[in-house]
Amino acid sequence: MIEHKYLLGLSLIHKLGAVRIQQLIQCLGSPEDVWVATEKQLLQCDLPQQLVNTIVDQRRQIDIEKELDKVFAIGATIVTFVDSHYPKPLRELSDLPPVLYVKGNWIPTDERALAIVGTRNATQYGRDAAFSIARQVAGQDITIISGLAQGIDTAAHRGALAGHGRTIAVLGTGLDQIYPLENAGLAEEIINNGALISEFPLGTPPVGKNFPRRNRLISGLSQGVLIAEAPEKSGALITAEAALEQGKEVFAVPSNIFNSVGRGCNRLIQDGAQLVMRISDILDALDVAYDRTQTRQQTDQLVPENTTESSILNLLESDPIHIDVLIQQSGLTTEVVTSTLTILELKGLAQMVGHMQYCRMRSL
């Protein structure tokens, strides 16, 4: 607890990041030694004078005991990088957070994880894809990690919960500043089936610059990252970049070429991301052992979720049918038919068997 206390204090000093904190501990011996170090001792650790002044000034203003009481008051705990139960995947980051605020429980099996992220302004197609994939993957005892944002993140968390699995939300705010507020109820469900995690102190509001930092933790905690739907300029693509830098697998759900909301995914696929049509694409790429019989049974239990999906599925038979015929027979637009077919493929209800030819998924 002594190390917890002083690491928390050091993490609250502005402009003193994780790398500097580690540097100071190596130089002076322990978090407590850093906290009580004199100006002269700090300067001997090769810190610039301005940063030393900041440390000395802010130490006087920080009441560590009061900060700890705030954490415990909201039912949260802190986990530091000196703890044995600190998330193992994050130890590989060069700028690992010295302190994590956790509400809920991070458990060792959460290292078997897939991140699912995407645009806040998601289409129904994108939300359906994220929900369906998260539900099926969570059913294989794989934790779903996302960021609690509107759109794709929300669908991914809800899909994991629907699959009776675990899900982790990594926040770009303090744990007491749920954003967006409309997801407060979802946050409580996540706490009961996983955890909320943040590296930001309590009281930190939703500031734009914090979310890219949050994204590196989303990818850092996962074995791979799936972009379910994202435009060409999207925070989700920052997560994909972080994943690549960390040596993680990147997956993308293909999107309608006429829909700008999904062009970022199509671009990722062009650049080498793994195209995802069914969850086996993800599980096989991650070399995750899974029950193929159980996966088949879960797929067989899936049903169309709306009249559009039902109408397209009813037109499909065991023999292939061209998409142009489906468009003509359904009376739906090209965009709606292509998007719906992709959703049916993700659910394992339909299969593309040739150029623009589709049929019902055959039983295995």
Pairing of strands 357-360, 321-322: antiparallel
Q: For residue 130, with 0-12 CB atoms within 10 Å meaning exposed, 13-18 middle and 19 or more buried, which class applies?
A: buried
- In a 3-state reduction of DSSP, which class is residue 306? coil
Closest by CA to 128, choosing from 303, 334, 249, is: 303
Task: Determine the topology of domain 108-295 in CATH.
Answer: Rossmann fold (3.40.50)
Close Cβ partners of 69 (under 8 Å, ≥ 6 residues apart):
none
CATH of 303-360, one of 1.10.10.10, 3.40.50.2000, 3.30.530.20, 1.10.150.20: 1.10.10.10
Q: How far apart are CA 158 and CA 205, in angstroms?
A: 24
Tokens, residue 178 = 């749920």
The span from the CA of 175 to the CA of 184, in Å, is 11
- List the domain boundaries for the chain: 2-73+82-99, 108-295, 303-360
Instruction: Give pLDDT tens digits for 123-154.
Output: 988 999 999 999 999 999 999 999 999 999 99
Per-residue pLDDT reduced to its tens digit, 34-77: 999 999 999 999 999 999 999 999 999 999 999 999 999 999 99
What's the token pair of residue 37? 């170090």
Task: Give the phi and the psi of residue 116 in degrees, each rounded to 5.
Answer: -125, 120
With both helix axes pointing from N to C terminus, report the angle between 124-138 and 292-301 in degrees, rounded to the nearest 10: 140
**Tens of pLDDT, residue by residue, the chain (364 residues):** 678 899 999 999 988 888 899 899 999 999 999 999 999 999 999 999 999 999 999 999 999 999 999 999 999 999 999 888 999 999 999 889 999 999 999 999 999 999 999 999 999 889 999 999 999 999 999 999 999 999 999 999 999 999 999 999 999 999 999 999 999 999 999 999 999 999 999 999 999 999 999 999 999 999 999 999 999 988 899 999 999 999 999 999 999 888 899 999 999 999 999 999 888 899 998 876 444 434 444 444 456 768 899 999 999 986 789 999 999 999 999 989 998 998 888 877 888 877 888 888 643 2
Cβ partners under 8 Å of residue 173, min gap 6: 179, 198, 200, 204, 205, 206, 210
Which residues, in sequence order, are bridge partners of residue 352? 358
- What's the rounded Cα separation, in Å, for the pair 117 and 227? 5
Residue pair 52/24 in contact by the 8 Å Cβ criterion = no
pTM, rounded to two decimals: 0.81
Q: What is the dihedral of CA 241, 242, 246, 247, to 10 degrees?
A: -30
Answer whether 108-295 and 303-360 agree in fold: no
